[in-house]
């Protein structure tokens, strides 16, 4: 186990230095960002993480201003550069959620329609506890998951899914029989 931990730490350091170090290039100065990096590099050096009550934000530790924020496990196992940013709430979180869901699904339907469907489906399943207590609730959890996966995969629900949905009392006005 100690050998494995040593190898992982070495790989994190090697990948971090190779993949996560930002070097400004012409793309950094596009869109009127002459003289400054539009990706906000170098970052401010921060010795310890803290909460700033003036801006209502969490400031994370940063020991090297040219390194992207990263997850060490994603970095080592996927071996690609990435930049993680903490977005906890507010407009930035909502904007990120819409951007990511639109980007991932690339669907004709709008994000708000998908969120409405998700909200409707979740509201129909009793949430008395984390663990479902009855077989019917377990079936509703499973069926909700199947339907949401169908929606996310840009497929219409098949007739069997619509019939089961109706039988479980979970019919939704946008389901289409094919």
78-119 pLDDT, tens digit each = 887 777 766 666 667 777 777 777 766 665 666 667 667 767
Query: Which pTM was predicted?
Result: 0.43
In whole angstroms, give the CA distance from residue 28 to residue 18: 19
Contact 100, 115 (CB under 8 A): no
149-170 pLDDT, tens digit each = 666 555 455 555 556 566 666 5
The answer to whether the peptide bond before residue 42 is cis (omega within 30 degrees of 0) is yes
Instruction: State residue 50 phi and psi, 5-degree precision.
Output: -160, 165
In whole angstroms, give the CA distance from residue 65 to residue 41: 7
Cross-strand partners of 58: 51
């Amino acid at each position: 186990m100690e050998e494995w931990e040593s190898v992982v730490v070495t790989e994190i350091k090697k990948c971090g230095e190779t993949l996560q170090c930002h070097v400004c290039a012409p793309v950094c100065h596009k869109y009127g960002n002459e003289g400054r990096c539009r990706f906000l590099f170098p970052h401010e050096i921060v010795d310890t993480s803290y909460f700033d009550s003036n801006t209502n934000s969490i400031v994370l530790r940063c020991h090297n201003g040219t390194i992207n924020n990263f997850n060490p496990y994603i970095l080592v196992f996927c071996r690609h550069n990435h930049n993680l940013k903490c977005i906890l709430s507010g407009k930035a979180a909502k904007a990120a959620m819409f951007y990511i869901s639109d980007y991932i699904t690339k669907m004709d339907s709008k994000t708000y329609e998908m969120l409405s469907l998700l909200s409707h489906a979740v509201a129909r399943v009793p949430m008395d506890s984390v663990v479902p207590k009855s077989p019917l609730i377990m079936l509703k959890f499973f069926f909700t998951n199947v339907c949401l996966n169908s929606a996310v995969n840009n497929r219409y629900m098949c007739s069997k899914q619509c019939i089961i949905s109706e039988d479980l009392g979970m019919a939704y006005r946008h389901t289409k029989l094919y």
